[in-house]
Structure 1
Amino acid sequence: MFCRILCCLMIVRQISASSAESCPEFPPVNNSVFVATEVEGQILGTYFCIKGYHLVGKKTFFCNESEEWNVSTTECYLGHCPDPVLLNGEFNSSGPVNIGDKITFKCNDRYFLKGSNWSQCLEDHTWEPPFPICKSRDCDSPGNPDHGYFEGEDFTSGAVIAFYCEERYRLVGTQELQCIDGEWSSGLPTCKWIQEAPKTALQSGLEKALLAFQGTKDLCSATENFMKRLQESGLTMEDVKYFLETKKAELEAKKCC
């Protein structure tokens, strides 16, 4: 009774007389303290449970236009923890949990549990271990790299997609990614511009390198001479790869025609 009278004195000091008279007396909630303040012409009421009790239900309320507190069921329970929450899952509790009680968690289909599958209500009204989350086993779309694209429309767990680059670009990174428990198996690859060497210099350099390779019977010496000729011509293996791919495309085009 003393606590409720004290709270009423606090209300009178925090709101105007006209506002205070427009709302009826606040609904009582056992083992709580009620504080009211004026916010933009409306009266906002807030319940605070006393030590050793935990609030279940809505905490703050406005005095509405009909001059009534829009109060739903709000209570202060002794020794109860906050209601457990688990999106896309369920737990074995249907009401307030007492100190010392344990609850277990389970995820819905297509979700997996990340964290502990149980938690306990402690004396300070907290849960330990913290609540887990239910994470989807499916992946989000990975998106396209610049100057590239991927093939595949299935992003469910276990699905595989492949990445490709536009013409004159080469793929750097892992070409195929797999969805594993909501995460792609590797980072997104990139498409790097292939620097084109002058055609005559490229052909001339490759011809010299190939002649050096063919002129040596020992495979190790032939490979060494081939790489040496490439370096002298200022070429790289990427240039060789591009040249061969170009020749292959030209031959296939002639074959089709």
Structure 2
Amino acid sequence: MLERLILCLIAVRVAQVTARDCGNPGEILNGYYMADATTLGSKTTFYCDQGYRLVGSDYRLCTADGWDGQVPTCEIVECSRPVTPAHAYVERGFGHKYKYQQEVVFRCNEGFEMIGASVIKCSENNIFVPSPPICRLPVNCGDPEEILNGYYEANHNLGSKVIYHCNEGYKLIGNDSRLCTATGWSGEVPTCKTEFPPINILKEMIAVVCQVVIKEENMIKAKYQLLESEREILKLKENLLKKMEQYVDENNL
């Protein structure tokens, strides 16, 4: 009789355990959970929203006594104060601890130029992104090399461009521009080579040919006029001889 009673109690207990439903595993502020089921043996996994980190176990198991453990918490991500670059200062965002997405704005001291981003943000990885900028004295590449039979237009500061041009009658060979980089002017100086034939020489040749043609025309005109004059002189001579002969005949000379 006692054995039957024990077996009955065990059967009831097993039935209770088998039908166990742990219910809601617990809400998490600034986060959420995912659970396939809430019955005995099931697992609930907890997650935090972007910009928050999980404190505690990220899961709970449904046991015969209910959900084990405690609901974890989600704390906002914090970043330590970034190092201020040399020759720079913090314009906005003073503090020692910074929460997720908080900004720090840097400015360079007068006379220095900034390389990189002036605004950095506290990221979900507990670090500021991008990295703090660098402040340094401006790079001056100085005068670029001269170009024979040409000229250039340039600004000497970092990132500026020099543009090369050739004089009239010359053709540029190579790249027509160079950049001022941290290590100086990029590339090589192009060259200016004579065009064939050069435009200026061609113009001079055309002008000379025109002058020759005009002079030849004038000479032809002058020769024609001289020929006409010679004909007129010849006619005058003939008329003069006729008159002299007539005069001699009439006067019996």
Task: Give the alignment's TM-score, normalised by structure 2.
Answer: 0.32
Task: Give the alignment's TM-score, normalised by structure 1.
Answer: 0.32
Point out the structure with max Rg over C-alpha: 2
